[in-house]
Every structure is written in C-alpha cells, then in structure tokens.
A and B are shown apart, each in its own frame.
Chain A
Amino acid sequence: MSIEPCAESVAEPLSEPLSERAVDALPPLDTAPTALVALAREAGYRSTPAPLAETLLVARPLLAAAGLAVPDGQLTVAAGPLDVRFTHVDTDSRVGPSGAAGTDDALRVSGTLHRVPWARAAEAAVVLTEGPGGGPVLFLLEATEWRQVAGTNLAGEPRDDLVLLDVAVPAERVRRIPAALVREATWRSGLARAALIAGAARRCVELTVDHTSSRVQFGRPLSHFQAVKQEEAKLVEEAALVAAAVEAAASALSEPDSAEFTAWLAAAQAAASVAEITRIAHQLHGAIGFTELSPLRLATTRMWSWRDEDSGERAWQQRIGRHVLDGGSGGLWQQVTGG
C-alpha cells in the first residue's frame, strides 16, 4: 500500500494547500490546549500527512514538562525498552551495581523503537524509556541519529521502526522524569488519536451526506429512502458522540485532576465508535466508497488504524473499568461527573 499524498485526496472546499497550513506553520508554544485539540481534529479531518497531533498534543507538552527546549518543526514520540547506558559511568559510586550511576546524564542508546508515527517526516523524536539507573528517562533524538526501517499502517501512514546503534545522547537532551509523566505520555497519545478520529469521523459524515443527497436511484436521491435516513442519523449521532468526548477531554486539559481520566474516556469512546461510523459510511456509499475512486477510504482506513494505536481500544476500556471498579460504591457516577 502506498502512502497517500493528501493533496490528491482533498476536494473542495479543502483545496487550500496543506503544506502552507498545517505542516509548515505550527502554532506557537503558548497556544491554548483547546485550540491544539481543534488543530488535531482538523488534521484528522484532512488526513494531513504529518505528525501534527503527535507534535502538538504529545511531544511538545512532554518536552516542556520535562524541562527540555522544544525544537522547531514536526516531532514524533516513541516509547519502549532500549539498551541504555551512561556515557560517563561514575566508577566511584557505591549505589547499585556497576554502571548504575553516571557522572552526568549523557547516554549511549541501542535498540529498536517500533512503529513510530511519521518518523520519516519528523525533525526529532521524543523517546521515553527505562534509564540506566532505573526509573524512566525522556530524551530527544534528532532525525540524523536513527536509521529508519519504513513501515505503514492500514492507511499507508508511515509507522517506521527506528534503529539506534550506540547513539550518543548528550546530557542536555536527557531528563529523568517522574512516573506520572510516563502516564501522561500515554493519555496524551490517546487523546491525540481520539482527536484525529473525531476529525476523520466528521469527514465520514460529510462525505456520506454529500453522497446520499446527490446519488439518485429509482428516481430519487438515496437520502430520501427511509432505510438510508435511519442509518445516516445513527452515523451523525456516533460522530457527535466522539466529538463530545474529545471536546470534554480538550477542556479538561487545563484541569490537572480530571485531565487523565477524561482523556481515557475520549480515547476509549473514539476507538469504540470507529466500527459503527466506518460501517455506516461505507454501507451508504455503496461500491464506490470501497474503491480508490472515493476519498472516503482516506478517513476510514486511518480510523481502522488509529483505534488500535497508542495502546488500543481494549486497553483504554480496561483502564477505565479498573479505575471505576477500584473506586468504591458510587464510584462510577462520581468518576463520570468528575468527583
């Protein structure tokens, strides 16, 4: 499967060149969180060929939280086990086994990070892994420091493996981070993916409404058939549901107490709604939606991938379920209402 160049797919009124809008002109670092989520939704709507959601909602906030400078350009995020050693081992240290302490935080890193979104288009990658002294570390890798093995998801979006061969990461690009920031990386990724799904769901609705109101069979538009109306309404509803969940998570981004759980809810709902939204959109499109003649696939194939990425539908649901079941009686309703 080839990578879809987005410009090819984008019909009116989306003809504005994406390279000028979404890719080159990243919003300033102090942009409001709700506006960042809106941009991620737009990227999902437009099938933007860049790690915009990853940059805005995950990589930049993580770097800022870790106290690292945020580089210009598109960023991606990767997490996973790596072989990580201190560049300058503190041989005088009596803490832990040999090599468990360094004279500074500079690292030498080897290993493979799997299926990293848009790595080939990113200037740098934010990497989270277990540090040599135990405990999580976050560091910034520059694109020149990894070797890339190209891979793609169901939509043909790049999901590249990054091979690191004894890469030296200077101390100024490394931070030891609290476990909470590792969790934040997870829920932020889930929210980013949910925002993309919300945008793509909107695209499914628009394309489907366009199709059913213009396609004529038996002398009338498809949208005049009761059976079609029933399904179309459910499509609209399910897309609205995802949008509502994502908007709630967006506005909770500025509330430390509820941001994480609300992001889980959005990630779980967005992933769970993909099946119904894509089913109805394709059914109402008829044969053309199943082919490259229609742009519908740009939305649906992405949604089929996104629901499984960043831990996936089941994992989000389990996190929520565990949280609710651990919460004592009345816990479910209290969680839903935010306390």
Chain B
Amino acid sequence: MTLSDLDLGAVQLPPEATRLRQEVRDFLAAERAAGTVLGRPDSWLTGWDPAFTRRLARRGWIGMTLPRAYGGGGRSNLERYVVIEELLAAGAPVSAHWVADRQAGPTILRHGTEAQRNHFLPRIAAGACFFSIGMSEQDSGSDLASVRTRAERTANGWRLTGTKMWTGGAHVNDHAIVLARTDESEDRHAGLSQFIVDLRDPHVRVEPIRLLSGEHTFNYCHLEGVELTDEALLGRPGDGWRQVTGELALERSGPERFLSTLPLLSALVGQLQRTGACSPEQQARVGRLTARLASIRQLSLGVAAALAAGRPADVQAALVKDLGTRFEGELVNEVREILPIAARFDATRGSYPELLATAILHAPGYTLRGGTNEILRGIITRGLELSR
C-alpha cells in the first residue's frame, strides 16, 4: 500500500443504481404510510422485524450479490450498497437479516461446500434464515486469535465446547458461524476453523446480556458439547483466521459504519423545519454535519468500489470505520447542542427526545463494534509502515 492508495477517487454510481434508489424510496414511503417502524437510530442492530425482512426479500433486496443459481439477485456490490444505505438512512428494521445478508451469505458462497451453498443461500435470500456472528469471547475481543472455544474430532465429525460472547441475536436467529480452535499450534493464527452451528441445538444455551439501556440484543452463547457433522465445517480446517479476516473488510466499511445515527439528524432537521426560523448558528452546524456525512460516504463508496473490483482495501476499510463511527457519536453530541431538548427514553416512541435517548444510550457501541477503533488505527499505521 502507498499513500496514493488511500486516495480512492470519486465513485460514479451506475445509472441503474439511480432507478434502484428510487424503487427503494418508493417502497419505504409505502412502509412508512403503513406504519412500519422506521426512522430509528441503530436499526441494523435493534430493529428486528422478520415480516419486514420478508417483504424486502420479495423485492430481491436480500442476498442481492449472491448468484442467481443460489437464489440471489446476481447484482453488483454497488447496487447492494445503494439499497442498504437507503434502508439505514430511513432507520428501517433490518437487524433480523443483517448478518446473514452482509456476512454469512458471502462467506458461505466463498468458502462453503456446494451442499452448504445450496442449503443456506436460497434461504438467506428469501429472508428465511438468520445468522449470528460467533467470533468474540470473554477474553477474545479485539484479539480474536486468542479464542478458546474448541472443536474436537469425533467419529462422525466435531464436538464444540466453549462460550461465545456479545453474540447479537443468538436468541432469535437460526444459525451462528462459530470460530473455534481445531488444532493447538505454535502460530496462533493457525489451527482455527469456522463452523455453521444451529442455534436451536439442545447443546446450545443462550443467555442474555442486556445493554446498559436494558435492551436485549447481546448474549452469551454457551456451546456445551455441540455434536457437529463434517457438513458443519465451513471452509478448510485451519483456515479460520484467513476466512474471518476476509469477512472483516465487508464488516467495516459499509454504510452502517456512519449512518447509525442519521435518523436522529433527520428528525432534528424535521423538528427545525417545523419550528420555522433557524439561527445562522443552527444552519452552520447542520451544514457542518452534512458536509462530513457526505465526505465519509464518498470514502465508504470508494472502499465498496475497490472491494467490488477485487482490490484489497483493509486499511481503507479501517479508515472509514474509524471516521464513520466517530461521526456517529459526534452527530449525537452536535444534535444536542443544535436543539437542546432533554433526552427521554420513556418519551413517546419515535419522538425526538426518545430518538435522542436511544442514540445516546447506544453511543458507546459505535466505536467498539466491528473492531475497536484504537485497534483499527493500528491497522492504518501498519499500512503506512508497509508503504515505506
């Protein structure tokens, strides 16, 4: 990588993306009219609505980039980008299928067996099969290679033992892709493998971890001797690290890394428009946020285009995630200054004070999830060193 590689250039969305964007907006307008819960911050984490997911699937907006042969849409990454940025900007309830669509589908396509692809991908694209991420553990957060969950060889396959932590949606989803140690090795990055685990297995015990707001999205996921056949192995034994790091660029640079709190800003704009006269100070602050949002989006689009073209963009993805998630938090602080109204979690759902409360209570998570920002900055500076 060189410094020039950080300059991703402008991305021109293809003309079909403009039509697609309008279709999504029309769909969202109809959903809004029908009273679907929209306009919420952090909706990709907490907006769990399988019925909404199925309506999206009927439009072909889940598993869009998966090949048609597996029930996918056969569309480009940039087209998917347009759809998900519209959904996130609208604060639509997309958390049910979020991991399946963003991560599990592409990972199974890339590393799965033909049988796994045929089984899972059509279900993912139909909005009928939801996934959790089984990576983090109590002592393995940013340092993922230290995972202790073990998969031991049995006569018929593998036996999985350990406890995953921060497993979002494990209590409502169908499967998790679990990273486990299959081999003790000198090299910590070797000897890891990924497994597709049925979360309804009797030897899987899900225990809630409530957020500081009292909301339930996270869990412990206790794997108490889960018996797996070889069919459950995803990719090759020992390739887990490489497979997981391949997922990370997908996980880090998407629009959910800068749009989580946009619905709050949109609510603020609506509130200011209703009250009429805005001070020059309020205008300038809204303008400052808008410019930053638009600029981060350009960078994020640049990463999406680079990934779509098969260029490595790990460093750029880390850069977008740090900028974007810091922005998500800054936005909340700015909004409080622009329109100082006390946040109230118990105010009417969807009202400005309630949205503000939700965004504030979720704020600690923005710069933690998907790789703590301090660690991501290390990826950026390592990229600089390699460029010299």
Residues of A at the B interface (CB closer than 8 Å) are 34, 202, 205-206, 209, 213, 223, 226, 229-230, 232-234, 236-245, 247-248, 250-251, 264-266, 268-269, 272, 314, 316-325, 328-333, 335-337, 339
Contact = CB atoms under 8 A, between A and B. Distances in A.
A324 B8 contact: no
Interface in B274-323: 278, 280, 282-288, 290-299, 302, 316, 319, 322-323
Contacts of A213: 385, 388
A329 B38 CA distance: 14
Contacts of A247: 7-10, 298
Contacts of B209: none
A248 B284 CA distance: 21
A237 B322 contact: yes
Contacts of B316: 240
B10 A233 contact: no
Q: Is the interface of A mostly helix, strand, loop or mixed?
A: helix
19 contacts: A209-B3, A233-B322, A237-B322, A241-B299, A244-B8, A244-B299, A245-B294, A247-B7, A248-B298, A265-B291, A269-B292, A317-B284, A320-B287, A322-B287, A324-B269, A329-B269, A336-B297, A337-B85, A337-B297
Given A206-B3, A233-B380, A244-B302, A268 B287 contact: yes
B272 interface: yes
Contacts of B278: 321-322, 325
A199 B39 CA distance: 38
A336 B294 contact: yes
Interface of B: 3, 6-10, 12, 18, 21, 85, 89, 262, 265-266, 269-270, 272-273, 278, 280, 282-288, 290-299, 302, 316, 319, 322-323, 374, 376-378, 380-381, 384-385, 388
A243 B18 CA distance: 24
B3 A205 contact: yes
Contacts of A264: 291
A265 B292 CA distance: 8
B306 to A, nearest CB: 12
A325 B294 contact: no
Q: Is the interface of B mostly helix, strand, loop or mixed?
A: helix
Contacts of A316: 287, 291
B14 to A, nearest CB: 13
Contacts of B381: 223, 229, 232-233, 236
B380 A333 contact: no
Contact of A272 (B8, B21, B270, B288): B288
A325 B290 CA distance: 11
A265 B298 CA distance: 11
Contacts of A265: 290-291, 294-295
Contacts of A324: 269, 286-287, 290
Contacts of A337: 21, 85, 297
A234 B288 contact: no
Contacts of B290: 265, 320-321, 324, 332, 335-336
A264 B266 CA distance: 20
B269 A237 contact: no
